[in-house]
């Protein structure tokens, strides 16, 4: 699906909410054709990290985001998508009152100047990846199951033909069957050269389905490396369980909890 090899390179990324720094200087890299995961306990900053990379300005405090030769550090969310970096946020956010096809067309907005044939081809690739969506092409997305809605959300992100695809807990709350369908689709995309950056609640699943992994703790990367190696390291599981008594070098954040306001 993607053309030339490229890489998403994030440096010193900071983001937060008011005085609370949720992402406190993160460096990470994802190359095309590579599948990478981000794990960490609740509140570690995973979602904020993806949002900040996606160009959501709210709370972004600094750092660099590059995609290939493009500097996206100050780019708006649509400009980030246009550059080839798509984000599937948590909770399959789709347009419930639009049908499947219309939902997918929304995703092709940044490619609207490329012409109908390209849009059609992108849609055919989505239907090839998730054949059930072809069956439901003219059905309101609100009537689909949670898993099918997640397929629509991923399909929508794919309509812009991303070189790098970020997903926040793409299989959260879904059945084993649907989870498998989605993970297999991500594998196919990776094999087609798309870079995948996936947040997953399940460390086990993340390490099984990606080749590299970043372990987040209190807004920082506490550990990273090949998934096969991290899978053998008990510290990874301790960090994610929140029983990291030995410490990992990630500093605690001053004001790590949102300030109580009257
Ligand atoms: N809109 C917001 N306003 C204020 N604080 C927020 C907001 N969103 C997140 N936070 C706080 O920022 C920190 C990081 O949250 P974030 O959602 O990025 O974590 P996460 O790793 O994705 O957690 P989870 O595993 O629960 O999804 C948490 O302390 C959280 O309470
Ligand atoms: Mg989250």
Atom of ligand 1 at shortest distance to CA of 44? 21
| Tens place of pLDDT per residue across the chain (262 aa) | 446 788 999 999 999 998 899 999 999 999 999 999 999 999 999 999 999 999 986 777 899 999 999 999 999 999 999 999 999 999 878 999 999 999 999 999 888 888 899 999 999 999 999 999 999 999 999 999 999 999 999 999 999 999 999 999 999 999 999 999 999 999 999 999 999 999 999 999 999 999 999 999 999 999 999 999 999 999 999 999 876 544 444 333 333 333 333 3
Atom of ligand 1 at shortest distance to CA of 256? 29
Distance CA 76, CA 239 (A): 33
Hey, what domains does the chain have and what are their CATH numbers?
7-241 (3.40.50.300)
CA of 16 to the centre of ligand 1 (A): 9
Contact 50, 8 (CB under 8 A): no
CA of 126 to the centre of ligand 2 (A): 26
Predicted local confidence at residue 59, as pLDDT: 73
CA of 89 to the centre of ligand 2 (A): 9
* 3-state secondary structure (DSSP) of residue 85: strand
Predicted local confidence at residue 256, as pLDDT: 34
Give the predicted TM-score (pTM) of the model: 0.90
Task: Indicate which residue's Cα is closest to atom 16 of ligand 1.
Answer: 45
Predicted local confidence at residue 248, as pLDDT: 43
Counting ligand 1 atoms within 8 A of each CB, the residue from 16, 40, 47, 61 with the most, and so the one to mutate, is: 47
Predicted local confidence at residue 5, as pLDDT: 80
Task: Indicate which residue's Cα is closest to atom 7 of ligand 1.
Answer: 17
The helix or strand, by DSSP H or E, that contains position 83, with its residue range, turns out to be helix 77-83
Atom of ligand 1 at shortest distance to CA of 58? 1
**Hey, what are 59's tokens?**
């709370």
């Amino acid at each position: 699906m993607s053309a030339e090899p490229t890489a998403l390179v994030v440096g010193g990324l900071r983001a937060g909410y008011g005085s609370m720094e949720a992402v406190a200087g993160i460096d990470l890299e994802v190359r095309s054709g590579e599948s990478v995961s981000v794990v960490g306990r609740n509140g570690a900053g995973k979602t904020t990290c993806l949002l900040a990379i996606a160009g959501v300005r709210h709370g972004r405090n600094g750092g660099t985001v590059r995609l290939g030769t493009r500097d996206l550090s100050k780019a708006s969310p649509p400009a980030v998508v246009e550059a080839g970096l798509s984000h599937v946020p948590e909770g399959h956010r789709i347009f419930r009152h639009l049908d499947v096809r219309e939902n997918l067309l929304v995703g092709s907005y940044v490619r609207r100047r490329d012409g109908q044939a390209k849009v059609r081809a992108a849609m055919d690739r989505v239907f090839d990846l998730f054949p059930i969506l072809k069956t439901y092409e003219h059905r309101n997305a609100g009537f689909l199951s949670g898993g099918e809605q997640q397929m629509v959300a991923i399909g929508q992100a794919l309509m812009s033909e991303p070189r790098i695809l970020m997903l926040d807990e793409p299989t959260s709350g879904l059945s084993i069957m649907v989870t498998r369908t989605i993970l297999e689709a991500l594998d196919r995309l990776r094999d087609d050269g798309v870079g995948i950056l996936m947040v997953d609640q399940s460390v086990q699943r993340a390490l099984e389905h990606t080749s590299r992994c970043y372990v987040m703790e209190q807004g920082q990367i506490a550990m990273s490396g090949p998934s096969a190696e991290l899978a053998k390291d008990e510290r990874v599981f301790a960090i994610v369980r929140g029983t990291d008594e030995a410490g990992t070098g990630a500093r605690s954040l001053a004001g790590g909890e949102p300030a109580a306001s009257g």
